[in-house]
Structure 1
């Protein structure tokens, strides 16, 4: 498995999310400017709601920017145990311990990108191939680590 390619795919997905948030923020700001009117309180309430939406989008954008910075700390090296940057195969699936991005397709396989802070990553942390871990009272076996 080419971990450099995997990291690049995750970087690309994060860049797409960043672009989408920036576009949404710009569009929301534009519609906020369109509501300026002398009609009174009704429009002030609408503008306030748009401002809250912009603030929420900005918070989400900042979170993705943090993920992008964190991804830069992951080295494309072989891992011997479940840790940040490891690709862990269990009986239930394939997981890339990196950023919380959800499911991606890599080398024709479904892989789930999870944060090292996620309960699953914490349960697997430090475990090696053929070791068991438990999450939600379910035992799983680590089949392979890369």
Structure 2
């Protein structure tokens, strides 16, 4: 079980690192573009271009802040910790799907099975948080039951 948690944790870390690299490349590219923007006879066009680049930079900065939060959440996960109650870092097996309560990283595959990495602040994460084995819940008008918590 710990191997499975470590594998899912590793995949989440890789997801965050890839996003971080992408955002940093965008920021670097936009900084170069801002520096190379030269004033032309079309002044309004120049100002519009700079404003658009500035907006892109702000958006990328917000994404970097989100990535930082994801790293903080991952730092709180202890792969060796197990519990009968679903918590941050738990693997929750239900009748319909498998979840890893961590960050919103989407569908992950480990040891031949699919798991959904979901944030504990996401709608499904909030529902699963605190659940115990055999507890039933409803999400999107679909009834489900917790089979196992790792």
Shared fold, TM over 0.5: yes
5+ long unaligned stretches in structure 2: none
Q: Identify which of structures 1 and 2 has the higher relative contact order when contacts are C-alpha pairs closer than 8 Å and 6+ apart.
A: 2
- The alignment's TM-score, normalised by the length of structure 1, stands at 0.92
Distance 2:60 2:100 in 1: 26
Spell out the pairing of 1:65-84 with structure 2 (5 A cutoff): 65-76=68-79, 77-84=81-88
| SS of residue in 2 equivalent to 1:18 | helix
Aligned-residue Cα RMSD (Å) equals 1.3
Aligned-pair distance for 1:11? 1.1
How many pairs are equivalent? 146
Spell out the pairing of 1:62-141 with structure 2 (5 A cutoff): 62-76=65-79, 77-141=81-145
- 2:57 alignment counterpart: 54
Contact 2:88–2:120 (CA<8 Å) still a contact in 1? Answer: yes
5+ long unaligned stretches in structure 1: none
- The alignment's TM-score, normalised by the length of structure 2, stands at 0.90
